Amino acid sequence: MAHRATTPKLLPFTAETWYTCYMLWTMPFSSAVAPICIGAFMAGLAALIFGLVGRKAHDHPYCHACLFDLFGHADPKICPECGLKFRKHNDIAHGLRQKRKGWVLTGTLMVAISVGTGVYKVGSAVWAGRALMPEWVLLQQFNHGDRRAAFGELYSRYAQSNLSANGTAKTVQAIIAVQTNPAERWVTDLYVFLQEARAAESITDDQWEAILLGGARLGLEVRDRVPTGGQWAISLDRKNRFDHGLTWSIASWQSSPGPWTRLTLEECTVNGQYFDLNTWYDPRRRSREPNWDPERAWSYGGGKQTWHTAMTLEPGLYTLKTRWLLEVTERDDPNGTVYSKTINLSNTFTVLPPEESTVTPLRDPSLQPQMDKSVTLNHVVLKTMQDTSQNVEYRLEVEFSLTPPPCPIAFDIIVRTADREWIIGSLGHPGPGGDRVGSSSETTIRPFDDGTVDIILRGSADAAVTRPDMTEYWDGEIVFENVPVERR
């Protein structure tokens, strides 16, 4: 009677093996890929050999030619199944072995995928930027690997009309996904490619509108707690990615920096009542200058614009609502087609009784050494300005560089000469987690003859409340003595 072995089940960790292979395939090329490929290949080869050697199904004698089980046949001379005459000692074998199919399958997959991945990754590194790389590989590199190198080759083929229509369409889609993603940097080279693709009618009007309008983002931040009679700070964060991007190789910032944008405030209300930004008064600057000038609304830059007003509302909870019109047009044709969209921004704030404070001073002298290191004074410049009416005006500029301090800072900037001292502005930083920044303050002053001055940074609650996000500040002092004054 012939004995047939049952088919063994696949390895219990097959799912994990598949996942490992998937991660290996999608991993960007790096020095870690080589040992992983080698390890996966060796493990797969061992599994393959183990599966091919198989397991012993039984110890019965069997015909070497047809594998017929000779169990129960005493000293047979001829195989009852195939008629083979047993003349040699190896015509009859003992102990039939059967392959482990699960191990064979798993080992084969691991060897094939590790070899394929190794060839693909090495080929990607060797062929990067070369004409030998297929379009689909370049697109995968653009999306998941070296975007700049992949784009360079794609653009080269496009410029030479060697990029297929399907490749062009997929390249356009991939670039649009990058240029309209607020988390990605705007790249001038990609914008140039899109302009050329649009001229060749490879981009629809809807896609082009999404590209232009996707370059600008707005955010509204208000100081959420302010006492009656205190200063209320509002910040409009204009993230215009057009002119804060990267330039690779095919374009320059000057040749094609990006579209023009115009931002217009259409409506502003507090609890449903009309509120005019242009009537706001900044008590620290003692000025009544308009906070929003429509004539200066054309802009291609970004940044944060902060307004201040003396709070006159009664204590309670309020909602500020604003409606902005964003208009975008191409820079080389500012009078051409204008794309626009309306952006609604709102925020809530609480007005407190006049005696309540919204900032807490941190009195910790142990932070003095770290604070001294976090602020660098770059220069002090006294400028002599003359207008068209021959009126002379003197302006003092003080410039600093800041690295993130150990806690939030809000300083009055004080200039001290031999006979007087005065506040010329404020300096602030949110503290740990913030960026390294530069800051300067410039104000009109009465001229002085001193060749050096002392610059004092003094913790100030008045300076802290001018920032929408600050609730505490370091109540200390940093002094720069005998700073030379540059005169221009």
Determine the average pLDDT of the residues in 314-341.
80
Instruction: Note the pLDDT of residue 7.
Output: 37
Burial annotation 305-336 (CB, 10 A radius, 16+ → b, else e): ebbbbebeeeeeebebbbebebbbbbeeeeee
Instruction: Please provide the DSSP assignment of 295-334 as one string.
Output: GG-EES--EEEEEEEE--SPSEEEEEEEEEEEEEE-TT-T
Determine the average pLDDT of the residues in 316-338.
79
The set of residues, in sequence order, having a beta carbon less than 8 Å from that of 473 and lying 6+ positions away, is 359, 360, 361, 362, 407, 408, 409, 410, 428, 459, 460, 461, 463, 464
DSSP SS3 for 248: coil
Q: Between 44 and 28, where is the model more confident?
A: 44
Class of domain 360-487: mainly beta
pLDDT tens per residue across span 55-106: 776 667 778 668 777 766 767 777 877 877 776 766 677 666 777 888 888 8
Please say whether the dihedral angle defined by the alpha carbons of residues 189, 193, 196 and 201, taken in this order, is positive or negative: negative
CATH 2.60.40.10 boundaries in the chain: 216-352
Beta strand pairing status for 452-459 and 55-56? unpaired
pLDDT tens per residue across span 421-480: 888 888 888 888 776 676 767 677 777 888 899 999 999 988 888 888 888 999 999 999
Range in 118-122, 276-280, 327-331 the model is least confident about: 276-280
Q: What topology is assigned to 216-352 in CATH?
A: Immunoglobulin-like (2.60.40)
pTM over 0.75: no
Please say whether the dihedral angle defined by the alpha carbons of residues 488, 372, 468 and 265, taken in this order, is positive or negative: positive
